[in-house]
Chain A
Amino acid sequence: MGGSTTVAAATAPALEVRRESGQREVFCGLTSIVWLHRRMPDAFFLVVGSRTCAHLIQSAAGVMIFAEPRFGTAILGERDLAGLADANEELDRLVADLLQRRPEIRTLFLVGSCPSEVIKLDLAKAAERLNTRLAGQVRVLNYTGSGIETTFTQGEDQALLAMVPLMPRAPAAPAAEGAAPAAAQELLIVGTLADAVEDRLISLFGRMGIERVRSLPPRHSRDLPAIGPGTRVLLAQPFLSATARALTALGAQLISAPYPLGVEGSAAWMAAAAATFGLDDARVAAVLDPLVERGRRAVAPHREILEGKRLFLLPDSQLELSLARFLQRECGMELVEVGTPYLDRALLESELALLPAGTPLTEGQHVENQLDRVRAARPDLVVCGLGLANPLEAEGIATKWSIELVFSPIHGCDQAGDLAELFSRPLRRRNLLRFS
């Protein structure tokens, strides 16, 4: 599993975590294709799996009408399972067909699924073989998006992890540790950001004095940023355990910070980068202070709606802790329970430190029992997946569907108001609708 080797956090406060197991109402990692295909339009995602996998992706993305599909499924048939067909030959044939239709594809991701993993189809080797054959035309990568290994956003973690070995090595490390001039260092933002948010953050870092900022994933799949001991990595998303470890293994330094959700988180996130680069405090403050001031003003009207409201978050994307921190500290919400599918204490150390003592945290899920707790607590707002949202609404419980949070520009001080609005909107709507 992505990041199953949890590094024990040394300083995080001992928040108690309930570990639950039972039926999990979450997406598998294949779902990450739904946003990754738009981030890198020159890539194609070929799932090797069953009709279920194909059905999942088209159910999630099929409301969009595609003139050119950017993902597909190599569906395993009985012949493949019985070993009557050579899986490698079959895959080679399919890839050739696909590339004939879509010659402009630059990177092909072979995405592993539950069926391909249970029958132990070696997609890593297949990718290697296809790479040799298609050298110069298409780069073939492999990662797992299976439900048995990955939950929802962990699919992105695995996709980025697959790209890490292809990142060019950055030129020589700075001469002396700590004494390196900021100009020799590069800041790498890791995790999918909306285009506008990315542009904005890069320009703000530039004003603070960080000149060289790159992103992973890039907008073009072959335009990979360099990596090396001079690289300072700032995670934009909390679900990137495996990628973060791979990057640090190549010498990059991970900047520890809360995640850039809300005014406080975003300012701390940018300040952490500035501190790493040894930037002048006054110059950093000159950039951040107006942002913080303006961000707070944007959040204020939503705080009026959200303040004192009781919030229950079900596990979905691993964004839950950061969202809970923002909604509690900046919008005044009260946390009933914060669920997460997977808790990487090392990556969430800074977030854990900001959550109020006694916050009920749950890792994993037994959905029926968790729903019993939701019903018993009657929270004012439940953050949950689309499989649960309408049924809870019908029971009279207000919901905010969580998947939207990975599809919306929510990062940075400038987006804090928009982020708060995503949670105040369902409450506002409930007050607005009148049928009598």
Chain B
Amino acid sequence: MELTLWTYEGPPHVGALRIAASMEGVHLVLHAPQGDTYADLLFTMIERRQRRPPVTYTTFQARDLGGDTAELVKRSIQEAVDRFQPEALLVGESCTAELIQDQPGSLAAGMDLGGAPVVSLELPAYSKKENWGAAETFYQLVRHLLKAQMPAPGTPPPSPQRWRAEGRRPRVNLLGPSLLGFRCRDDVRELTRLLGAEGIDVGVVAPLGARPADLARIPAADANVCLYPEVAGSVCSWLERRFGQPVVRTVPIGIGATRDFLGELRQVLGMEEQPMAPESSSQLPWYSRSVDSTYLTGKRVFIFGDATHAIAAARVASRELGFEVVGLGSYSRELARDVRAAARELGLEALISDDYLEVERAMAEAMPELVLGTQMERHSAKRLGIPCAVISSPLHVQDVPARHAPQMGWEGANELFDSWVHPLMMGLEEHLIGMFRHDFEFVEGHRSHLGGQAPAEPATAPASTVALASGSPGPASEERTPVGTSDPSWDPTGEAELAKIPFFVRGKVRRNTEAYAREQGLALIDGEALYAAKAHFSA
């Protein structure tokens, strides 16, 4: 058993639902108890879709368990096929159905369903999660639909540069965008425009908006763009192995990554290098260089999300906005290696965890001035009084906005600049609060451009205020109370000097000063010790 207050991902069948609901002409029959239809709301409310997701649930109840639940599955499959006449049928189970083992996939295989392809899904609900479920469903569906087209082993792969010989523009597939993914709708729009301007056509976009017949056209493209590795990673690798289609793996989030992406794409397609002037394409480089952004330099930022968005955010934050990344992590275990590599480049140890409490502890320990995370990090950030922006799923309804809000490409970079800087205290206000502390309105921690009241005092001593959820004392508390050493305490002059440190960096200064006092063997921290520590750490 695992205690979960917030879960980063849903069960794997929600991943399957995302694939079915993103596509057209696909129907999913899900063996699930009454109540599991809550998942429909993810699509009708969060994604604000205008139609019900194409899912038929068996919704068995306790009284059905005494009877023939397999018969119920067969009836549901038959009714779904008769009513919706799908071009492809997916059949799977939710976690409770997995326990009663009716084998709905095999049942469907034994039925006469009028010839529509039937894909049976194995979704181990007690060991895998949502993104895995989406990737597996997408992979199984593509594999099933492309079975007949598979080239014989030994056939040489088609050249990704054959477009030249065929006298047409190069063509790529955009694989991975789905409902409940982060800003997929606008990323696709943005990239399609961007690629069009580069002279590259978009073949199939999938799963978002694709029909089964579209998936059958995947091999006709010169290359596959793996936009969201969490969902499309396995299918892209399979297409590369079986169809010889090269995969472009750079995810174009941020200026540098978008340039690298175009470079990689051109290389794969055999196109000429183009001199690029990102300044003219996106506002981010100029906005970030303009003097108003100088105060962003070295702002401490903690990043957590799915692997794709966390890695991209780390690059943008450290190189394009001049932040200091003080924490980087992801819940995507499947892509842990990539996250670790990105963290190492920043001199950090990546946090790979799906335990919300562990992330909260790491956040408190890192004492950031800004958190870039998921909907879940908004909870911890609120508790710790730290500004926060959302960069990744899981998301809530406010992150499916009406406006064009991509993360990818040039326009995506504009969106990143605005949404990440917005929660921070504005420059002038930060200066004035640093100078005058006795104001009746602009009190400490107040961010008047957000229109609210001052937040609660942030947890300045994480180990003591953030109780640990694990039974054993965590690393944080060990560091705070070293065995055999008495903790230095603060005398009134020390406290007074500490109170003069601006709100968002005070936690960091407190910790540094305490570390310095321990190092120097000081039992009592006075004002002088604080200044000594300040000089020590800036030296």
Contacts and interface: CB of A to CB of B under 8 A. Distances in A.
Interface of A: 1, 22-31, 48, 50-52, 54-56, 58-60, 62-63, 65-69, 71-78, 80-81, 85, 87, 90-91, 93-94, 96-98, 100-103, 114-115, 117-119, 146-149, 151, 368, 386-391, 393-394
Contacts of A54: 4, 6-7
A68 B11 contact: no
A386 B38 CA distance: 9
Interface residues of B, number: 68
Interface stretch (B147-155, B465-473, B523-531): B465-473
9 contacts: A31-B35, A51-B10, A52-B10, A52-B14, A59-B42, A100-B469, A114-B35, A386-B41, A386-B45
A149 B60 CA distance: 10
A362 B173 CA distance: 49
Interface string B22-43: 0000000000011111111110
B375 interface: yes
Q: Which 4 A-B pairs have the closest CB atoms?
A: A28-B35, A147-B35, A387-B40, A394-B50
A390 B49 contact: yes
Contacts of A151: 34-35
B168 interface: no
Contacts of B37: 23-26, 387
A86 B36 CA distance: 27
A97 B471 contact: yes
Given A52-B11, A114-B96, A24 B34 contact: yes
Contact of A389 (B7, B44, B58, B375): B44
A75 B1 contact: yes
B496 interface: no
Given A65-B379, A72-B5, A74-B2, A81 B42 contact: no
Contact of A387 (B2, B52, B382): B52
Contacts of A50: 11, 95-96, 125-126
A91 B96 CA distance: 20
Nearest to A152: B35
A55 B393 CA distance: 13
B380 to A, nearest CB: 9
Nearest to A49: B95
B51 interface: yes
A123 to B, nearest CB: 12
Contacts of B100: 118
Nearest to B10: A55
Given A23-B56, A115-B96, A90 B34 contact: no
B72 to A, nearest CB: 10
A26 B35 contact: yes
B14 A55 contact: yes
Nearest to A97: B469
Given A56-B38, A148-B60, A80 B1 contact: yes
Contacts of A117: 62
Given A55-B14, A118-B99, A69 B48 contact: no
B396 interface: yes
Interface in B37-82: 37-42, 44-46, 48-52, 56-65, 76, 79
A188 B409 CA distance: 62
B289 to A, nearest CB: 34
Nearest to B57: A23
Interface in B150-166: none
Contact of A147 (B34, B44, B124): B34
A55 B34 CA distance: 15
B397 interface: yes
Given A78-B126, A87-B1, A118-B96, A26 B79 contact: no
A1 B34 CA distance: 13
B129 interface: yes
B379 to A, nearest CB: 5
B129 A100 contact: no
A60 B38 contact: yes
Given A27-B38, A30-B35, A62-B396, A67 B95 contact: no
Contacts of A23: 37, 56-59, 76
A63 B397 contact: yes
Contacts of A58: 6-7
